[in-house]
Amino acid sequence: MVIVVLGAVILVGGYFVFFKKTSNMPADTSNNVANENEIAGWQTYKNDKYEFEFKYPPNYKISSLRGGEVSMSLESDYAFMDFFDSQSPGVGKSITVNVIEGIESGEVSGNMDGGIDFGVSFRNPYTRNGYLEVLFATKRKGYESKVEEFREIISTFKFTK
């Protein structure tokens, strides 16, 4: 009986030690990071006030944000990305991008234009409310596959300080 209990304790303890050890390690983003050849022609946006930068494809343009604190948006013919100050990281799964911890929205949801919304929040000490939220939305139905493009853009995100 003692051997069975001792064995169970070792198995359970080993599981938690291994789980805790691997869950605290930065996630391997090598599968998420855009291929260097794919992003070779991309431009870089740098925000000195909020201390971040990212790369984006040539079919997107920087524009003024429709409200919010960070005051920038990235737009294409079929989608936009808004960067804004947020008080909460929202609910979703934890992700790591270039050793930056974030929360990816739990699911892709529909928007009033018939498209989709999807987002990521990063803790950011330079925003007034503590989080930088990045919302990706398609302007109409049929662009659901563009979430992968958003993930490629986000894979280049980094803080500059």
Q: What is the pLDDT of residues 90-149, one digit of tens each?
A: 788 888 888 888 888 866 677 777 788 888 999 888 888 888 889 888 888 888 788 888
Q: Is this model's pTM higher than 0.85 or not? A: no
Strands (E), the chain: 43-47, 52-56, 61-63, 72-75, 79-86, 92-97, 100-105, 109-110, 116-123, 131-138, 158-159
Q: How far apart are CA 145 and CA 160, in angstroms?
A: 30
Give yes or no for a contact between 153 and 52, defined as CB atoms under 8 angstroms apart. no
Closest CA to 50 of 74, 73, 69, 75: 69
List all residues 6 or more positions away from 36 whose beta carbon is below 8 Å from its beta carbon.
none
Average pLDDT over residues 27-51: 71
Q: Which CATH class is domain 43-159?
A: alpha beta
Hey, how many other C-beta atoms are within 10 angstroms of the C-beta on 56?
20
Extract the tokens encoding 89.
């990281």
Q: What stretch of H or E contains 64?
A: none
Structure confidence by residue, pLDDT tens digits, 1-26: 545 333 343 443 443 333 333 333 33
